[in-house]
Structure 1
Amino acid sequence: MTIIESRASWDAARPRSTTYLGSAKGVKAHYTGGRADPRTLDDHDACRAAVKGIQRGHMTGNGWSDIGYSMVVCNHDRAMIGRGPHVLPAANGPGLNSGHYAILLLVGTSGVIEPTDAMKRAFHAARTYLREHGGAGSEIKGHRDGYATSCPGGATYAWVRAGAPLPSAPPPPTPEEPEESMPEIVSLGLEDEVVVPPGADFQPWWTAEWKDSAGSHPSGGQSIAPNTATWVDIVAYVALRGLAPDEPVEVAITRHAADGTLQNVAWPIERPALLRADVDGRVEVNLAAQFGLGPANRARVNIRHASAGQVVLETASAFKALLHRS
């Protein structure tokens, strides 16, 4: 199963600015345009370093506000968030960025030149993520469709032209304990934009439940509340507009007792608890936190602000809450 990784996982620099993208026709496949280091086939840290290097080149060499791609996929069946959903990419070419999200496969003109089955599965997972959370349509194109370039390379483009068939999934590993004893994945998100009222208390935002066959999300609730003792690894994404420039806002992953009493706040690494809006009055943040949960407590993702204006939550998702037996 493909894991969606946050920007924090590859040590992304903060974007200088973002442009909102409501929806797109679909996605376009890309390659690096240079040598893809073969170490990325075996070492996922090399994949993360490659993505960090690409961002550095795009921001310093191209003068772009961020990495140009919406998502990046690698041979470890991982899809790393680049600009992410509802953010205009920069990699498709002038006048073409609003039409499709951009997904980079870590292949190039030498080194690694053909996408592996794991990359193809991760590409489809990234596409599904952008469809569910970013309004992407069904189209799958190559960068060269509509722009004069060799990207995404011969092998990748042939796969795209063939309909980007999904390879067979590898056989699952033999579990160390009965599968039914392990809680399943919970993935929660936002169906429509909502107004976040000001006040001293945190406001939970979950409104849509994508999967919860293990009963880890209470009926009608806005929290992850597993019915067995688990170690929870939560990654979330939040985008807000309507704040005044430089106005503060707080976003947190919190743990509560069953009665709602706040137990602790886990802030993301290298992100301050207090965020400030950019010149356009926007805030975009990726969060990550880990802690133990059980029947007596629960986890939420929350927002707090004191703005006099109308603050709108454009998009939000807890795209992976991986639950492991503790």
Structure 2
Amino acid sequence: MAELCGTLLRWSIRRYKLARWILGALPAKNLCMDPHPPVPTRGIPLRLATHTEDSLSENEITRSNYQFVYRSGWHARHPKSEQTLKAPVPFVVIHHSYHPKACYDKDDCRNAMKSMQDFHMDVRGWADIGYNFGIGSDGVVYEGRGWNVLGAHALHFNTVSIGICLIGDWIETVPPSVQLQSAKALIAHGVKKGHIMPKYKLVGHRQVRDTECPGEALYKVIQKWSHYAPFPRTYRDLKNVTEIPAYIRESLED
């Protein structure tokens, strides 16, 4: 038996060495893999898209009803730090970027995501782009901080919410229907996967901060969505939002 095991071991070693020699002799472009795969921004493995009719590029996937681009797909910088977001969250906060303006193709939207990240990290001094997700007017969803990382999109409200930014200035004009539908689909996906509570409440950024965001035109649209919540009305109501941790509410007392 010992002799048989030894023979099998030597045979396995020879096959392993042969395989390494063959792979080393082949040009990288002939390998059935990316010789320099993108490094995940976090410790979450990247899922690479297969070829589709839309010819999606690497690190993009098609969900049932919207396209999704991971951080590596828009060349996101590594975050300075991260905090885990406790799931499922009870709120979804809708934002607009105001600037950058609306983007209608993947190149412009990737640049918009990078622009927002640079501003948030270099000017605001935040650890990363503030939003959990961005959505372009092409209907593509772009991963920001993602589902599992605490955002920096709504002061005093980040611990209980997912922040979704519809890229563009939506003060006077309404986002394209494909952008709105992708926002709804993303939220539905979050509920399905347990990131968002089934009975979540949807609010505009202006309801939790002293701001015009998400723009008057967009705000009127989301007020018609099924999970829209009129409370909190303004940031002054945050101390009465029971979902916010007590230590945060106590800090807001007059």
Do Structure 1 and Structure 2 share a fold, with TM-score over 0.5?
yes
Distance in 2, matches of 1:8 and 1:105, equals: 20
1:114 Cα offset (Å): 2.1
Deviation at 1:35, TM superposition (A): 5.1
Residue 3 of structure 1: CA displacement? Answer: 1.1
Match 1:64 to one of 116, 122, 126 = 126
Residue 19 (structure 1) aligns with: 83
Q: Does 1:47 align with 2:112?
A: no
* Aligned: 1:121 with 2:185: no
Shift of 1:134: 5.5
Query: What residue in structure 1 maps to residue 140 of structure 2?
Result: 78
Q: Deviations over 1:125-157 (max 9, x none)?
A: 221233344521222111011211100001110
Which of 142, 148, 157 pairs up with 2:219? 157
Structure 1 position 147 matched with structure 2 position 209: yes
The answer as to whether partners of 2:95 and 2:204 remain within 8 angstroms in 1 is yes
Structure with greater strand percent: 1
Partner of 2:101: 36
**CA deviations over 1:159-183 (Å, ceiling 9, x no partner):** 1111269xxxxxxxxxxxxxxxxxx
Q: For 2:157, which of 86, 96, 101 is the aligned residue?
A: 96
Residue in 2 that maps onto 1:295: none
**Which structure: larger Rg?**
2
Gaps of 5+ in 1: 166-326
Question: Per residue, is there more helix in 1 or in 2?
Answer: 2
- Distance across 2 between alignment mates of 1:35 and 1:66: 17
4+ residue runs over 6 A deviation: none
CA contact (8 A) 2:154 2:209 kept: yes
Task: Give the aligned CA root-mean-square deviation in angstroms.
Answer: 2.0
Q: TM-score, normalised by structure 1?
A: 0.46
Whichever residue aligns with residue 30 of structure 1, its letter is H
Count of aligned residue pairs for this structure pair: 160
- TM-superposed deviation, 1:92: 1.2
For 2:140 and 2:226, the matched residues in 1 are separated by 17
TM-score, normalisation: structure 2: 0.59
Once the two structures are aligned, what percentage of the paired residues are identical? Answer: 28
Task: In structure 2, list runs of 5 or more residues that go unmatched.
Answer: 1-64, 228-254
Q: Aligned residue for 2:39?
A: none
Distance 1:120 1:67 in 2: 21
